[in-house]
Amino acid sequence: MVSLTGREAAVAWTAALQAACGRHADDGPAEVAAGLITSLPPRMIVALHRFRALGSTHNALLLRGLCADLSGLPATPATMTPDARMPLVEAASLLLLAVSLLVGEPFTFRSLHQGRLVQHVTPVPGHEQAQTSAGSAALQWHVEDGFTDDRCDYFGLLCLRGHPGAITYLAPARHLDLAEEVVAVLREPRFVIAPDTAHELPCGTEPSVIPILTGPAADPEICFGDADVRPADPADHPAAAALTALNAALDRAAVGHELCPGDLLLADNRRTAHGRSVFRPRYDGTDRWLLRAMTCASIRAHRRRGAARALG
Protein backbone atom coordinates (compact mmCIF):
# COMPACT_ATOMS: atom_id res chain seq x y z
CA MET A 1 0.00 0.00 0.00
CA VAL A 2 1.15 3.54 -0.79
CA SER A 3 -0.57 6.50 0.91
CA LEU A 4 -0.07 9.94 -0.58
CA THR A 5 0.63 12.83 1.73
CA GLY A 6 -1.66 15.86 1.50
CA ARG A 7 0.97 17.79 -0.43
CA GLU A 8 1.63 14.92 -2.86
CA ALA A 9 -2.08 14.52 -3.52
CA ALA A 10 -2.56 18.28 -4.00
CA VAL A 11 0.21 18.45 -6.63
CA ALA A 12 -1.23 15.53 -8.63
CA TRP A 13 -4.82 16.73 -8.28
CA THR A 14 -4.06 20.30 -9.36
CA ALA A 15 -2.25 19.01 -12.46
CA ALA A 16 -5.15 16.67 -13.27
CA LEU A 17 -7.75 19.44 -12.95
CA GLN A 18 -5.71 21.71 -15.22
CA ALA A 19 -5.33 18.92 -17.78
CA ALA A 20 -9.06 18.13 -17.67
CA CYS A 21 -10.04 21.78 -18.16
CA GLY A 22 -7.49 22.29 -20.95
CA ARG A 23 -8.20 19.11 -22.87
CA HIS A 24 -9.67 19.47 -26.34
CA ALA A 25 -12.30 17.09 -27.66
CA ASP A 26 -9.87 15.40 -30.07
CA ASP A 27 -7.11 14.91 -27.48
CA GLY A 28 -6.71 11.23 -26.61
CA PRO A 29 -7.23 10.76 -22.85
CA ALA A 30 -4.27 8.39 -22.46
CA GLU A 31 -1.97 10.84 -24.19
CA VAL A 32 -3.21 13.69 -21.98
CA ALA A 33 -2.77 11.46 -18.92
CA ALA A 34 0.84 10.76 -19.89
CA GLY A 35 1.59 14.40 -19.13
CA LEU A 36 0.49 13.85 -15.52
CA ILE A 37 3.05 11.18 -14.71
CA THR A 38 5.62 13.77 -13.62
CA SER A 39 3.10 15.10 -11.09
CA LEU A 40 2.93 11.74 -9.30
CA PRO A 41 5.23 11.27 -6.29
CA PRO A 42 8.47 9.42 -7.18
CA ARG A 43 7.92 6.84 -4.43
CA MET A 44 4.58 5.90 -6.02
CA ILE A 45 6.24 5.49 -9.40
CA VAL A 46 8.88 3.25 -7.82
CA ALA A 47 6.18 1.16 -6.11
CA LEU A 48 4.31 0.76 -9.40
CA HIS A 49 7.49 -0.29 -11.18
CA ARG A 50 8.22 -2.84 -8.45
CA PHE A 51 4.66 -4.15 -8.63
CA ARG A 52 4.83 -4.55 -12.40
CA ALA A 53 8.20 -6.31 -12.27
CA LEU A 54 7.79 -8.47 -9.17
CA GLY A 55 4.12 -8.48 -8.19
CA SER A 56 3.20 -8.43 -4.51
CA THR A 57 2.02 -10.82 -1.82
CA HIS A 58 -1.57 -10.63 -3.07
CA ASN A 59 -0.70 -9.52 -6.63
CA ALA A 60 -2.44 -6.22 -5.96
CA LEU A 61 -1.42 -2.69 -4.99
CA LEU A 62 -3.52 -0.16 -3.08
CA LEU A 63 -2.85 3.55 -3.62
CA ARG A 64 -4.59 5.78 -1.07
CA GLY A 65 -5.46 9.47 -1.22
CA LEU A 66 -4.99 9.88 -4.97
CA CYS A 67 -7.76 12.49 -5.35
CA ALA A 68 -7.11 15.46 -3.07
CA ASP A 69 -10.58 17.01 -3.15
CA LEU A 70 -13.77 15.20 -4.20
CA SER A 71 -16.08 17.57 -2.30
CA GLY A 72 -17.53 18.92 -5.56
CA LEU A 73 -18.38 15.47 -6.92
CA PRO A 74 -21.70 15.49 -8.79
CA ALA A 75 -24.50 13.02 -8.09
CA THR A 76 -23.71 9.40 -8.84
CA PRO A 77 -25.19 8.67 -12.29
CA ALA A 78 -27.82 5.95 -12.54
CA THR A 79 -26.08 4.65 -15.68
CA MET A 80 -22.63 3.33 -16.51
CA THR A 81 -22.48 5.50 -19.64
CA PRO A 82 -23.25 9.07 -18.50
CA ASP A 83 -23.16 11.72 -21.21
CA ALA A 84 -22.74 14.86 -19.11
CA ARG A 85 -19.27 16.39 -19.03
CA MET A 86 -17.96 16.39 -15.45
CA PRO A 87 -14.55 18.10 -15.15
CA LEU A 88 -13.84 16.76 -11.67
CA VAL A 89 -14.61 13.20 -12.78
CA GLU A 90 -12.53 13.72 -15.90
CA ALA A 91 -9.60 14.79 -13.72
CA ALA A 92 -9.94 11.60 -11.68
CA SER A 93 -10.12 9.58 -14.91
CA LEU A 94 -6.89 11.14 -16.14
CA LEU A 95 -5.13 10.28 -12.88
CA LEU A 96 -6.36 6.69 -13.17
CA LEU A 97 -4.97 6.52 -16.70
CA ALA A 98 -1.67 8.08 -15.63
CA VAL A 99 -1.21 5.33 -13.04
CA SER A 100 -2.29 2.71 -15.59
CA LEU A 101 0.35 3.93 -18.04
CA LEU A 102 3.04 3.04 -15.52
CA VAL A 103 2.12 -0.65 -15.79
CA GLY A 104 1.27 -0.82 -19.51
CA GLU A 105 -1.12 0.55 -22.13
CA PRO A 106 -4.77 1.32 -21.27
CA PHE A 107 -7.36 -0.19 -23.61
CA THR A 108 -10.94 -1.44 -23.68
CA PHE A 109 -13.36 -3.34 -25.94
CA ARG A 110 -15.76 -1.76 -28.41
CA SER A 111 -18.40 -4.20 -27.16
CA LEU A 112 -18.12 -2.91 -23.58
CA HIS A 113 -19.78 0.28 -22.30
CA GLN A 114 -19.67 2.01 -25.70
CA GLY A 115 -15.92 1.43 -25.98
CA ARG A 116 -15.08 3.97 -23.26
CA LEU A 117 -11.48 3.83 -22.10
CA VAL A 118 -12.51 4.63 -18.52
CA GLN A 119 -15.70 2.94 -17.40
CA HIS A 120 -18.11 3.99 -14.66
CA VAL A 121 -18.99 1.37 -12.06
CA THR A 122 -22.33 2.37 -10.55
CA PRO A 123 -25.48 0.53 -9.45
CA VAL A 124 -28.17 0.80 -12.11
CA PRO A 125 -31.89 0.54 -11.24
CA GLY A 126 -33.39 -2.70 -12.49
CA HIS A 127 -29.99 -4.44 -12.69
CA GLU A 128 -29.59 -5.31 -9.02
CA GLN A 129 -29.07 -9.04 -9.64
CA ALA A 130 -26.78 -8.62 -12.65
CA GLN A 131 -23.32 -10.19 -12.48
CA THR A 132 -21.86 -7.03 -13.97
CA SER A 133 -20.67 -3.65 -12.73
CA ALA A 134 -24.29 -2.45 -12.78
CA GLY A 135 -25.39 -4.93 -10.10
CA SER A 136 -25.49 -4.68 -6.33
CA ALA A 137 -25.97 -8.36 -5.48
CA ALA A 138 -22.87 -10.27 -4.39
CA LEU A 139 -20.50 -10.29 -7.38
CA GLN A 140 -19.17 -13.82 -7.83
CA TRP A 141 -15.52 -14.73 -8.34
CA HIS A 142 -14.23 -13.80 -11.78
CA VAL A 143 -11.46 -12.25 -13.79
CA GLU A 144 -12.17 -9.39 -16.18
CA ASP A 145 -13.21 -10.72 -19.61
CA GLY A 146 -12.05 -14.29 -19.02
CA PHE A 147 -13.74 -15.37 -22.27
CA THR A 148 -10.92 -13.86 -24.36
CA ASP A 149 -7.14 -14.11 -24.26
CA ASP A 150 -7.13 -10.38 -25.04
CA ARG A 151 -8.34 -9.70 -21.50
CA CYS A 152 -6.40 -7.11 -19.54
CA ASP A 153 -3.26 -7.86 -17.56
CA TYR A 154 -4.16 -5.29 -14.88
CA PHE A 155 -7.28 -3.38 -13.94
CA GLY A 156 -7.58 -0.35 -11.71
CA LEU A 157 -10.59 0.67 -9.61
CA LEU A 158 -10.57 4.29 -8.45
CA CYS A 159 -13.19 5.11 -5.83
CA LEU A 160 -14.98 8.44 -6.16
CA ARG A 161 -17.74 7.62 -3.69
CA GLY A 162 -17.82 4.59 -1.38
CA HIS A 163 -20.57 2.60 0.26
CA PRO A 164 -20.24 1.34 3.86
CA GLY A 165 -19.89 -2.42 3.86
CA ALA A 166 -19.36 -2.81 0.10
CA ILE A 167 -16.22 -4.96 0.17
CA THR A 168 -14.06 -5.68 -2.86
CA TYR A 169 -12.50 -9.14 -2.53
CA LEU A 170 -9.32 -10.47 -4.14
CA ALA A 171 -8.07 -14.04 -4.14
CA PRO A 172 -4.53 -14.59 -5.47
CA ALA A 173 -4.09 -17.83 -7.40
CA ARG A 174 -0.79 -18.42 -5.60
CA HIS A 175 -2.64 -18.73 -2.28
CA LEU A 176 -5.18 -21.35 -3.37
CA ASP A 177 -5.22 -24.42 -1.16
CA LEU A 178 -6.20 -27.18 -3.59
CA ALA A 179 -5.56 -30.92 -3.73
CA GLU A 180 -3.03 -31.99 -6.36
CA GLU A 181 -5.62 -33.97 -8.30
CA VAL A 182 -7.91 -30.91 -8.46
CA VAL A 183 -5.05 -28.71 -9.69
CA ALA A 184 -4.27 -31.31 -12.37
CA VAL A 185 -7.84 -31.14 -13.68
CA LEU A 186 -7.92 -27.34 -13.58
CA ARG A 187 -4.71 -27.24 -15.64
CA GLU A 188 -6.28 -29.22 -18.49
CA PRO A 189 -8.29 -27.62 -21.34
CA ARG A 190 -11.66 -28.91 -20.14
CA PHE A 191 -13.59 -25.66 -19.55
CA VAL A 192 -15.38 -22.89 -21.43
CA ILE A 193 -16.17 -19.34 -20.25
CA ALA A 194 -19.02 -17.43 -21.86
CA PRO A 195 -18.81 -13.64 -22.29
CA ASP A 196 -20.48 -11.74 -19.49
CA THR A 197 -23.63 -9.86 -20.33
CA ALA A 198 -21.93 -6.46 -20.13
CA HIS A 199 -20.50 -7.15 -23.61
CA GLU A 200 -22.65 -6.61 -26.69
CA LEU A 201 -21.36 -9.40 -28.93
CA PRO A 202 -22.82 -11.09 -32.03
CA CYS A 203 -25.06 -14.05 -31.30
CA GLY A 204 -23.45 -17.45 -31.66
CA THR A 205 -20.00 -16.41 -30.42
CA GLU A 206 -18.38 -19.73 -29.52
CA PRO A 207 -16.15 -19.82 -26.43
CA SER A 208 -12.76 -21.54 -26.60
CA VAL A 209 -11.94 -24.62 -24.55
CA ILE A 210 -9.33 -23.59 -21.98
CA PRO A 211 -7.64 -24.57 -18.71
CA ILE A 212 -8.46 -22.59 -15.57
CA LEU A 213 -4.93 -22.58 -14.13
CA THR A 214 -1.72 -22.10 -16.11
CA GLY A 215 1.87 -21.05 -15.48
CA PRO A 216 4.33 -21.91 -12.71
CA ALA A 217 3.07 -23.64 -9.59
CA ALA A 218 4.56 -20.97 -7.31
CA ASP A 219 2.77 -18.09 -9.05
CA PRO A 220 0.03 -19.48 -11.33
CA GLU A 221 -2.32 -17.58 -13.58
CA ILE A 222 -6.08 -18.04 -13.33
CA CYS A 223 -8.89 -17.60 -15.85
CA PHE A 224 -12.26 -17.98 -14.17
CA GLY A 225 -15.78 -16.60 -13.93
CA ASP A 226 -18.11 -18.42 -11.57
CA ALA A 227 -21.24 -17.17 -13.34
CA ASP A 228 -19.90 -17.95 -16.82
CA VAL A 229 -17.67 -21.04 -16.62
CA ARG A 230 -18.67 -24.67 -17.15
CA PRO A 231 -17.05 -27.95 -18.22
CA ALA A 232 -16.77 -28.15 -22.00
CA ASP A 233 -18.28 -31.63 -21.73
CA PRO A 234 -21.48 -31.63 -19.62
CA ALA A 235 -20.68 -35.22 -18.63
CA ASP A 236 -17.24 -34.28 -17.27
CA HIS A 237 -18.07 -34.70 -13.58
CA PRO A 238 -14.44 -34.39 -12.36
CA ALA A 239 -14.24 -30.97 -14.07
CA ALA A 240 -17.47 -29.86 -12.40
CA ALA A 241 -16.18 -31.05 -9.03
CA ALA A 242 -12.90 -29.17 -9.60
CA LEU A 243 -14.86 -25.94 -10.19
CA THR A 244 -16.72 -26.45 -6.90
CA ALA A 245 -13.42 -27.03 -5.08
CA LEU A 246 -11.93 -23.94 -6.73
CA ASN A 247 -14.79 -21.74 -5.53
CA ALA A 248 -14.30 -22.92 -1.97
CA ALA A 249 -10.54 -22.32 -2.21
CA LEU A 250 -11.12 -18.79 -3.53
CA ASP A 251 -13.35 -18.09 -0.53
CA ARG A 252 -10.61 -19.30 1.83
CA ALA A 253 -7.92 -17.21 0.11
CA ALA A 254 -9.98 -14.01 -0.04
CA VAL A 255 -8.72 -10.67 1.22
CA GLY A 256 -11.16 -7.76 1.34
CA HIS A 257 -11.05 -3.98 1.28
CA GLU A 258 -13.79 -1.37 1.54
CA LEU A 259 -12.84 1.20 -1.08
CA CYS A 260 -12.92 4.78 0.20
CA PRO A 261 -12.89 7.99 -1.87
CA GLY A 262 -9.45 8.46 -3.43
CA ASP A 263 -8.47 4.78 -3.13
CA LEU A 264 -7.10 3.18 -6.28
CA LEU A 265 -6.92 -0.61 -6.21
CA LEU A 266 -4.66 -2.01 -8.92
CA ALA A 267 -4.87 -5.79 -9.40
CA ASP A 268 -3.17 -8.38 -11.60
CA ASN A 269 -6.05 -9.75 -13.70
CA ARG A 270 -4.00 -12.77 -14.76
CA ARG A 271 -3.08 -13.90 -11.25
CA THR A 272 -6.07 -12.97 -9.10
CA ALA A 273 -9.81 -13.47 -9.13
CA HIS A 274 -12.03 -10.82 -7.60
CA GLY A 275 -15.59 -10.25 -6.42
CA ARG A 276 -17.67 -7.89 -4.28
CA SER A 277 -20.06 -8.18 -1.38
CA VAL A 278 -23.75 -7.36 -1.65
CA PHE A 279 -24.83 -3.78 -0.90
CA ARG A 280 -28.14 -1.91 -0.98
CA PRO A 281 -28.15 1.06 -3.38
CA ARG A 282 -30.20 4.14 -2.54
CA TYR A 283 -30.55 5.62 -6.04
CA ASP A 284 -30.50 9.11 -4.57
CA GLY A 285 -27.25 10.40 -6.10
CA THR A 286 -25.07 9.25 -3.19
CA ASP A 287 -24.42 5.68 -4.32
CA ARG A 288 -21.08 3.93 -4.74
CA TRP A 289 -19.18 5.23 -7.77
CA LEU A 290 -15.94 3.79 -9.09
CA LEU A 291 -13.93 4.39 -12.24
CA ARG A 292 -12.29 1.40 -13.93
CA ALA A 293 -9.46 1.16 -16.43
CA MET A 294 -7.89 -1.92 -18.01
CA THR A 295 -4.27 -2.24 -19.07
CA CYS A 296 -2.24 -4.42 -21.44
CA ALA A 297 1.21 -4.91 -19.89
CA SER A 298 2.91 -6.01 -23.12
CA ILE A 299 3.70 -3.35 -25.68
CA ARG A 300 4.30 -6.16 -28.19
CA ALA A 301 0.81 -7.56 -27.60
CA HIS A 302 -0.69 -4.07 -27.71
CA ARG A 303 0.91 -3.35 -31.09
CA ARG A 304 -0.02 -6.79 -32.39
CA ARG A 305 -3.64 -5.80 -31.71
CA GLY A 306 -3.05 -2.71 -33.83
CA ALA A 307 -2.26 -0.48 -30.84
CA ALA A 308 -6.02 0.11 -30.70
CA ARG A 309 -7.48 1.70 -27.59
CA ALA A 310 -10.76 -0.18 -28.21
CA LEU A 311 -10.53 -3.78 -29.42
CA GLY A 312 -13.13 -5.54 -31.51
Q: Which of 25-29, 274-278, 294-298 has the lowest mean pLDDT?
A: 25-29
Residue 195 confidence (pLDDT) above 90: no
List, edge to edge, every strand of the sheet that includes 272-276: 139-142, 272-276, 167-172, 255-258
pLDDT the model gives residue 205: 66
pLDDT band at 218 (very low <50, low <70, confident <90, very high): very high
Q: Cα(200)–Cα(110) distance, rounded to whole angstroms?
A: 9
Phi, psi at residue 264, to the nearest 5°? -120, 115
Using a pLDDT cut of 70, give the percent of the chain over it. 99
Select the more confidently predicted residue: 62 or 133.
Answer: 62
Give tens-digit pLDDT for 66-115: 999 999 999 999 998 998 789 999 999 999 999 999 999 999 998 888 88
Q: Which of 153, 100, 118, 98 is nearest to 298 (CA)?
A: 153
Cα(191)–Cα(197) distance, integer angstroms: 19
User: Is residue 203 pLDDT above 70, yes or no?
Assistant: no
Q: Do the beta carbons of residue 274 and residue 152 sit within 8 Å? A: no
- CA gap 236, 216 in Å, rounded: 25
Please tell me whether the overall predicted TM-score, pTM, comes out greater than 0.85 for this model.
yes
CA distances from 81 to 29, 44, 142 (A): 16, 30, 22
DSSP 82-94: --S--HHHHHHHH
